[in-house]
Amino acid sequence: MILAVLPLYFSYPPHLCKAASAPQVQPYEAAIEYKKIIVMTLTKMPDGVTGMKSTVYIDAPPVVVWKVLTDYNNLKRYIPRMIESDLVEDKGRLKVINLTGVFKIFLFKKTIHISINMHESYPSRIDYEKISGDFEVYRGSWIFQMYSSEGTILTYESEIKPSFAAPDFIFQSTLKSDMITGLTALKTEAERVQNIEREKTAGIKR
């Protein structure tokens, strides 16, 4: 949630995931092979920007994953530590959303606000960029790829630089763990929605 859906607003459940600075296999292949494992790479970029690429397999088709990820008013319902998520402007393929969440490192706690342009290309891609808020740089993409007949490879790419001071190693460690939790929450919700649809379809066939 951004979305998602935003990676800095989440807590960390390590038992479901794998994150590494240099994975031994390609993210697409790893997401297929391990199914429940999130594969992630972090890159230090110029001017204090952190680049991130994360890939996860979701047992639901892209249209279902899209439906969950773009339900902007309800992201706060299932994403940990997100306080508010609101669609404030709808211009067709361009949406403007406001998000509020809590960023926490050890004893440091900060309420984060950000407004984002979401450029939607249904059902395969969402490109986003910050309008205003607590980041100097916040831009990237969500990429949806069909796998088999019922699954999705979801890839998240981003470039992030906070406007508040934080040592690189602490910021990147927190960013990595928080993104894992965010993608896990999204995966769980999309698969829950898909299971409901499967049960409905099975009931109709009976």
Q: How far apart are CA 20 and CA 54, in angstroms?
A: 10
Q: How would you write the pLDDT of the chain (206 residues) with one tens digit per residue?
A: 334 334 333 333 333 334 433 334 455 555 555 455 788 899 999 998 999 999 999 999 999 999 999 999 999 998 888 999 999 999 999 999 999 998 776 777 889 999 999 999 999 999 999 999 999 999 999 999 999 888 999 999 999 998 877 667 777 777 888 888 889 999 999 999 999 998 988 877 76
What's the pLDDT at 26? Answer: 53
Please indicate, yes or no, if residue 163 is contained in any of the structural domains: yes
CA distances, 62 to each of 8, 35, 58, 65, 189 (Å): 24, 15, 9, 5, 13
CATH number at residue 36: 3.30.530.20
Per-residue tokens: 150: 């019922």
Please indicate, yes or no, if residue 46 is contained in any of the structural domains: yes
Domain boundaries, position 159 = 7-205
Whole-structure pTM value: 0.81
Number of domain units in the chain: 1
What's the pLDDT at 39? Answer: 85
What's the pLDDT at 24? Answer: 40
